[in-house]
A = this chain, B = another copy of it.
C-alpha cells in the first residue's frame, strides 16, 4: 500500500494501459508491470485484468480509496509547508463558475482597492477541483457554490482539514424560456417540476435534486460544460429547466429579437444558492485579509 504504487495503479487504471502509464510517469513499461505485481502481491489480490487492462472488483474498490487518499497526502504536505511559508502578496483564487456572483465580485474589487499591492489570480474550475486546489495549496482561497437549505452548509467532498464558511446566500430561481407554460407564475414548487424536462449541467446537478425530492427530473439535454452564458442561452431556447441563482439571469425583461430566459422564484422547498469560502487552516497575512473582505 505504498502511495508510490497506488499512484501507479490509478494511472494504469485511468489509461487502461501499462505502457501509457509508463509514459506519463516516466518509467519503463517493465517497471510499471513490476509495481503492479508488487501491489497485487502485497494485497494478495488481482487488481487488474490484462488484455484488456481493466480493474477487477477488488481493484475498483481500491480505486475508490486511492484517489481521496493520495489527495489527503498531498494536502497534508501542502498544509505543513503553507503554515511555515512566508505570506505572499500574489494570491491565487479558485472558484466554481457560479460562485463569483455580483456581491462577491464587488467585495473582491473593494478589497483590491484597499490593498493596491495585492495581486490576485482567479481560476475557474469544478467543485472537486476547487477543493483539491485549496487542499493542495495550489490556491490560497476557494469559492464553491451549491444548493442548500438556508443556513445549511454545503456538502462538499472531503479533502482533509479545511475550513468552509458560507459567504453569500441568494434566492434560487427556476430558469425557463419565456414561452414556457409555467413562465407566467409568480413562484413555483419543486414538487410540481419533478416531471418537467430538465437541463442536466454540472452547474445544477439533477442528482442533488433527486436526493432531495426522490426520483424524477428527466433529462432533456445534458450539457457537459460549465459556462453560465451557454446554459442561459440553452434555457432561453427551450432546451429545459434548470435552477440558477437569481443574479445569474440577465436583468432585462423581454427582448424582441432573441429568445429570453426568465427566472421564477422557487417557493418550496426552501432552498438557496449558497457560496462558501474554502481555505486551509490559518490563512496568513494577505490571504486572511481577503478572506475577511469576501466574508463581508
Contacts and interface: CB of A to CB of B under 8 A. Distances in A.
Interface in A265-285: none
A15 to B, nearest CB: 21
A255 interface: no
Given A3-B3, A161-B65, A43 B83 contact: no
A79 B58 contact: no
Q: How many residues of A sit at the interface, in one of the four size bands?
A: 20 to 34
Interface core residue of A2, A73, A77, A158 (most chain B CB under 10 Å): A73
Interface in A44-82: 44-45, 57-58, 61-62, 64-66, 68-69, 72-73, 75-77, 79-81
A160 interface: yes
Say how many copies of this protein the assembly contains. 2
A84 interface: yes
A1 interface: yes
A29 to B, nearest CB: 25
Nearest to A62: B80
Contact of A69 (B58, B64, B73, B158): B73
Given A45-B84, A84-B45, A79 B57 contact: no
Interface in A33-49: 43-45
A43 B1 contact: no
A43 B81 CA distance: 7
Interface in A176-195: none
Which of A43, A64, A66, A76 has most chain B Cβ within 10 Å? A76
B69 A65 contact: no
The 8 closest A-B pairs by CB, nearest first: A65-B76, A62-B80, A58-B84, A61-B83, A1-B77, A61-B80, A45-B84, A58-B80
Interface of A: 1-3, 43-45, 57-58, 61-62, 64-66, 68-69, 72-73, 75-77, 79-81, 83-84, 158, 160-161
